[in-house]
Amino acid sequence: MALSFPFVAALTVAGTYLGLEIIVCAAWVALVMVGALFVNPVMGIVVMVTLYLLSAYPTLLQDLGFLTVNNLLGVGFLIALTVRVLDSRDLSFLKVPQILVFAAIGLVLIGATINASVAFPLLRASRGKVYMLDKTSDLAHDFITRLAFLIFFFAFVRTRRDIRALFLAYMLALYCAVPSALVNWLQGNLRFGFRAMASVTAGGNANKLAMICLMEMACWWYWALSRPRLVRRLIALAAIAASFVVFLATGSRSGLLGGVVLAVLVQAGPRAFRVPTAYIGAAIVAGAILVATVIPVGDFSRMTHLMPTKAEDRGAAASNKMREAAILSGWHMFRDHPILGVGLGNFREVSRQVYNDSYYRPPHNSYLWAASEGGVCSLGLYLLLFWITWRDLQVVMRLAYRDPEIGYIAAAVRIVYLLFNFFALFSDLWQSPFTYILIGQIVTMRRYVEGLPEPAGVAVNGRRYALAAAA
């Protein structure tokens, strides 16, 4: 910090003289961020989680290339992490199994991308209706920066307060999609005239908005149970009700299937976490009334018709046709290039130029994406990654009696994690921020509960609770 003050002062003078005041502002912002990170690094992690989830955050530094808020935070974290390692000689955060698996995935994707230039020597970058179809550089950048974010997550998130703050940041940032979708609905901004969508987070896609609504219902429910107070329960019920309304207005068929999965997961968990029968009945009645009175015409019909006819599809039949074409192209890629796939970010280009797919859409299936772009090696490593993380989550649930509030957070994250893996069948999620945030939360919760002592006089009840949680 002492060395940085003269540097920033000199930069201020030079930048002002050259008319580059925005660079000067960025330097001062970076200095303030680094100072804040030395005081409380978790604040920076919370900011990064929020910005990742908001996706389209407003910032003066957004159009300055490298000088984005997350990149400036990353530089600050790199300095803080270097100081911590030099002081403590602790590199345990690099030994986390998930980090090692991610490193292996990165090596496989590098090999797949190098191999693609040999397998497709005539492949050229082309433009779709709006954007360039080649996403190699974008996905590679996302992989590297988000892996660095995960390392910072493991290094700095330690205490119960940190875990709780990050869970609330995840829950509240993701919930921004719900009021945004309601505002768009009131203003008449609906896709195809009847499907609700948000302007922030991943909720710009109606299917992902349905996933977000289901995740938010689970998070708010467990948040209300963690401290049984009337005001907290009323707030949670209001948030759940708003999420439920938006969920019905998405018209998402994968969302409807996800709703069934959510109901099964909640009711099959420990008895203390289940939704009372009266609440379920009230939700069914309220849903029927909403569909009959408020929900735009076509939403419920689209949700309940998995194979709609031309007369009633409202875009669903075309969606099915494009998804089938993407799945067929992905299967051909995997069959022809089973070991390393077609290379990171090449799915749409290869679909268009090699397999003559007239739609050349994204795969809309995370399992298919990993198999087609990285081959069986990439798919196998991703499945190993999620299996290791699931085992960590089981340990957290088994030891959750050591800290009841963390137990409620773990129960919510369990639902969110399983919903995430379910919706990966219908969307490209494995390189999204969801993956890194969920893995970071689960690993840090396990490290925290394993470090707690066994509560005196609660060991027997704890073991009974652990058996119920495991079941």
Q: What is the pLDDT of residues 449-466, one digit of tens each?
A: 998 888 876 544 545 555
Q: At what angle do helices 97-119 and 136-156 cross, to 10 degrees?
A: 170
d(CA 327, CA 360): 11
Q: Is the pLDDT of residue 125 over 90?
A: no
Assess contact for 210 and 174: CB atoms under 8 A.
no
Q: What is the mean pLDDT of residues 188-214?
A: 84
Q: What is the pLDDT of residues 66-101, one digit of tens each?
A: 556 677 777 778 888 888 888 888 788 888 999 999
DSSP-H helix ranges across 250-365? 253-267, 277-293, 299-304, 316-336, 347-353
d(CA 113, CA 107): 10
Compare 59 and 303 and report the one with higher pLDDT: 303
Q: Is the pLDDT of residue 64 over 60?
A: no
| Model pLDDT, residue 23 | 64
Ramachandran bin of 2, using left for φ above 0, alpha for ψ from -120 to 50, beta for the remaining angles: alpha
Q: What is the mean pLDDT of residues 275-284?
A: 86
Work out the end-to-end distance of the chain between its first and last CA atoms, rounded to an integer number of angstroms. 51
Enter the tokens of residue 356: 């003559």
Please tell me the least confidently modeled range out of 74-83, 126-135, 280-289, 457-466.
Answer: 457-466
Q: Is the pLDDT of residue 16 over 80?
A: no
| Model pLDDT, residue 57 | 40
Please tell me the least confidently modeled range out of 55-59, 268-272, 398-402, 441-445.
Answer: 55-59
Most confident of 216-230, 375-389, 452-466: 375-389
Please tell me the least confidently modeled range out of 14-18, 228-232, 267-271.
Answer: 14-18
d(CA 41, CA 165): 12
DSSP tag of 276: P
| Model pLDDT, residue 130 | 66
